[in-house]
């Protein structure tokens, strides 16, 4: 399944390609310019997953400048297994802390269960981030605005 992302800028075709190259450097992506277009290998984060989106970038004319288009033709994602394991342990602690009124024998471990559940939240869930192709294109637009206002 191919995804397509785009953003409109007020730049010329060449300036838009320069903005993509500059945003790639900022993002840590790999940009391979091939004439009037190029290929982009974009590292992304999606919660507990991290991966790489690869695809073609080209520029089309737009009413107020140009449109930068990124078509993803290949993606690879991996799961953060360690973070998932910590969340499972935290969920078990949350269940134990919730069930102690129904099972009084769990009262002795209830305080520890609460600490485990909160620690899992602090270590993993509160730090989950996302960085998508749209975020990358926002950087392209931001570098385009910076370049446009400096002229």
- For residues 102 and 49, membership in a common domain is answered with no
86 and 75 within one domain: no
Do 75 and 93 fall into the same domain? no
Q: Which residues pair with 7 in a beta bridge?
A: 68
Q: How far is CA 61 from the centre of its chain?
A: 28
Same domain, 13 and 56: yes
Residue 78 CA to chain centroid, in angstroms?
Answer: 13
- Write the DSSP symbol of residue 1: -
Report pLDDT digits (tens) over 47-94: 999 999 999 999 999 888 899 999 999 999 999 999 999 999 999 999
Count of domains observed in the chain: 2
Please indicate, yes or no, whether residues 120 and 134 belong to a single structural domain of this protein: no
Max Cα-Cα span within the chain: 72
Structural domain including 50 reads 3-79+129-150
What pTM did the predictor assign? 0.79
Domain at 140, CATH number: 3.30.530.50
The kind and range of the H/E element at 127 are none
Cα of 139 vs its chain's centroid, Å: 13
């Amino acid at each position: 399944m191919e995804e397509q992302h785009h953003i409109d800028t007020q730049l010329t075709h060449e300036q838009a390609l320069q903005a993509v190259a500059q945003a790639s450097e900022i993002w840590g992506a790999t940009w391979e310019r091939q004439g009037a277009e190029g290929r982009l290998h974009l590292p992304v984060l999606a919660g507990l997953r991290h991966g790489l989106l690869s695809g073609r970038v080209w520029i089309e004319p737009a009413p107020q400048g140009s449109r930068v288009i990124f078509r993803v033709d290949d993606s690879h994602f991996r799961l953060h297994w360690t973070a998932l394991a910590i969340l499972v342990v935290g969920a078990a602690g949350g269940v134990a802390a919730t069930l102690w009124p129904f099972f009084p024998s769990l009262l002795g471990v209830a305080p520890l269960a609460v600490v485990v559940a909160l620690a899992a939240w602090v270590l993993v869930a509160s730090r989950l981030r996302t960085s998508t192709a749209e975020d990358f294109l926002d950087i392209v637009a931001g570098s385009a605005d910076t370049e446009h206002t400096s002229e």
